[in-house]
Amino acid sequence: MKIIDMIKICLQNLLRRKSRTILTVLGVVVGCCAIVTMLSIGIGVQNSQQIMLEGMGDLTLIQVYAGGSNAKLNDEALNKFQKIANVDVALGKASLDNIGYTIYAGEQNRYQANWAQIVGISEDAMEKFGFELLEGTYPKSKFEVLAGQFTAYNFMDSQRPDGNNMIDRWSYMYQYNPDTGQDEYNEDPELPDPYFNMLGQKLTMELYSYEDYDKKITQEVTVTGIVKQDYNKDYATSEGFIFFTSDLDALEKLVYPTKTQNNKNESTYNEIYVKAMDISQVADIESEIKKMGYSTYSMESIRKPLEEEARQQQMMLGGLGAVSLFVAALGITNTMIMSISERTREIGVMKALGCYLGNIRAIFLMEAGFIGLIGGIIGAGISFLIALIINIVSSQMQFESIQQFFEVLPTVMDPANSPVSIVPLWLAGFAILFSIIIGLGSGFYPANKAVHISALEAIKRE
């Protein structure tokens, strides 16, 4: 028998008893919806956790602290970390210690900053560390630096009257709202342009040691790029400058020419960061670094138990859904047994006319599988609608027109907005596949029953 003929017969059989087929399919739909909705909420929880953690910091970043006498934060350590498997980059962060500085910009040093965060990043790692450039390029040569997003606002204009010679960036972030009568915080306000354009600016640094304030040394640096503010990387990305560590060393030497070269065993970095290729490798890399005698900190210690909890929650929710799909499976079995006992004579006739046993089994398995397939497809579709409704209700979005409703849809379902329920494509596919398997599984016993019906049934008289 050709497969197409078997499919046709099984479809004809399903259509003969429409209401029964629909009710059985409905059972599968409910089961499928239960599983998908439960799992989608679990995925939503996991997604929200992930977003929350990412907000707290780079999940792939491991911070390394100095350990005992053999675990210094120096170049040697940096090289060792870089060689660990799956490490994207290892970098050192240094600061300008025991040196005071004033920074000037513009003609005749018109603009002046008394304070700006200065940090040194090891040369070869700067790009890989993932500073987000808003403008310009990464520094290439000596005394080229990156400036933070808002560094320009740290400069005051010496030609304006006192008290009105600076743009107070913070005052824009707290605006008085006449409706509520309170100051409201705005993270990203419209700021006026700074007094001068930082990009490409030649700055003059005036350096002095705390031991001798009068002995001033100047050094010119050039800003090649502006980076986006990211407190997780360094405060310098907001209000400061990012140097190569070698340049910081050079500045130190200018101020303290007599100071001996750093002992090889001394720590040269304040902090070392190790960035993993992927979140999943963080734990392994951390334990590797710990073996070398350092202490570490990463988001992994928070992420792991959260993930574990989310997984348990998901299993429990999925289990609840699975129970209802199991009930649906019983429904399919029941329907198939009923339909087979109704069709005993037909099956007997088919056998008497030379239908192979395998064909009869296949026809009934297909029937059960079809019920699963249709239930799965409808169930997956409805689950998506359920997810939509859950997300709309939980987001408390308001909309007046249908058009507005459709505009809101992509926002509500976007995983980036931490929706309560997420139905990824793989989940829908998995649900349909699972429903088919459930259908086939529950059709197995009835199909076997059909196969064992005797051809004699055809001859029997009523």
Amino acid found at 380: A
Question: Does 359 help bind another protein (rule: CB under 8 A)?
Answer: yes
Spatial separation of the C-alpha atoms in residues 34 and 50, rounded to whole Å? 24
Question: Does 315 help bind another protein (rule: CB under 8 A)?
Answer: no
Count of positions on this chain that bind another protein (CB under 8 A): 26
338 contact partners, CB below 8 Å, separation of at least 6: 20
- Applying CB under 8 A, which part among 299-307, 389-397, 432-440, 449-457 lies near another protein? 449-457
Spatial separation of the C-alpha atoms in residues 373 and 379, rounded to whole Å? 10
Q: Which of 59, 166, 283, 355 binds another protein (CB under 8 A)?
A: 355
Spatial separation of the C-alpha atoms in residues 244 and 252, rounded to whole Å? 13
Question: Does 256 help bind another protein (rule: CB under 8 A)?
Answer: no
Burial 276-294 (b: 16+ CB within 10 A, else e): beebebbbebbebbeeeeb
DSSP at 207: E
- Closest to another protein by CB, 133 or 458: 458
Nearest to 81 by CA among 305, 229, 323, 290: 290
Question: Does 320 help bind another protein (rule: CB under 8 A)?
Answer: no
DSSP output for 340-363: HHHTHHHHHHHHHTT--HHHHHHH
Rounded least distance, CB 458 to another protein, Å? 6
Rounded least distance, CB 303 to another protein, Å? 59
Q: Which of 163, 192, 354, 410 binds another protein (CB under 8 A)?
A: 354
Spatial separation of the C-alpha atoms in residues 378 and 383, rounded to whole Å? 8
Q: Which helix (H) or strand (E) holds 342?
A: helix 300-342
Rounded least distance, CB 18 to another protein, Å? 12
List strand residue ranges (DSSP E) for 43-139, in order: 61-65, 87-95, 99-105, 111-113, 117-121, 133-136
Name residues contacting another protein, limited to 204-243 (CB under 8 A). none
User: What is residue 175's three-state secondary structure?
Assistant: strand
Question: Does 356 help bind another protein (rule: CB under 8 A)?
Answer: yes
Nearest to 269 by CA among 100, 60, 70, 77: 77
Rounded least distance, CB 338 to another protein, Å? 17
Task: Give me the helix-helix angle, 425-451 and 357-395, nearest 10°.
Answer: 150
- Applying CB under 8 A, which part among 21-29, 104-112, 182-190, 349-357 lies near another protein? 349-357
Spatial separation of the C-alpha atoms in residues 272 and 279, rounded to whole Å? 18
- Closest to another protein by CB, 355 or 397: 355
Nearest to 61 by CA among 279, 238, 243, 240: 279
Question: Does 455 help bind another protein (rule: CB under 8 A)?
Answer: yes
Rounded least distance, CB 50 to another protein, Å? 53
- Applying CB under 8 A, which part among 109-117, 187-195, 341-349, 431-439 lies near another protein? 341-349
Asked if 143 contacts 222 with a C-beta cutoff of 8 angstroms, the reply is: yes
- Closest to another protein by CB, 1 or 217: 1
Paired sense of beta strands 182-185 and 174-177, if any: antiparallel
Q: Which of 173, 349, 388, 392 binds another protein (CB under 8 A)?
A: 349
Question: Does 363 help bind another protein (rule: CB under 8 A)?
Answer: no
Rounded least distance, CB 368 to another protein, Å? 18
- Closest to another protein by CB, 308 or 342: 342
Asked if 74 contacts 339 with a C-beta cutoff of 8 angstroms, the reply is: no
Q: Which of 189, 358, 424, 429 binds another protein (CB under 8 A)?
A: 358
Q: Which of 351, 391, 418, 435 binds another protein (CB under 8 A)?
A: 351
Task: Give me the helix-helix angle, 344-352 and 357-395, nearest 10°.
Answer: 140
Question: Does 405 help bind another protein (rule: CB under 8 A)?
Answer: no
Rounded least distance, CB 357 to another protein, Å? 6
Rounded least distance, CB 441 to another protein, Å? 25
Name residues contacting another protein, limited to 13-52 (CB under 8 A). 13, 16
Question: Does 456 help bind another protein (rule: CB under 8 A)?
Answer: yes
Rounded least distance, CB 362 to another protein, Å? 12
Q: Which of 163, 258, 353, 396 binds another protein (CB under 8 A)?
A: 353
- Closest to another protein by CB, 12 or 403: 12
CA 226 from centroid of its chain's CA atoms: 26
Q: What angle do CA 243, 246, 247 make, to 5 degrees?
A: 50
Question: Does 12 help bind another protein (rule: CB under 8 A)?
Answer: yes
User: What is residue 63's three-state secondary structure?
Assistant: strand
Q: Which of 194, 219, 346, 394 binds another protein (CB under 8 A)?
A: 346
Residues of this chain that interact with another protein (CB under 8 A) are 1-2, 5, 12-13, 16, 345-346, 349-359, 454-456, 458-459, 461-462
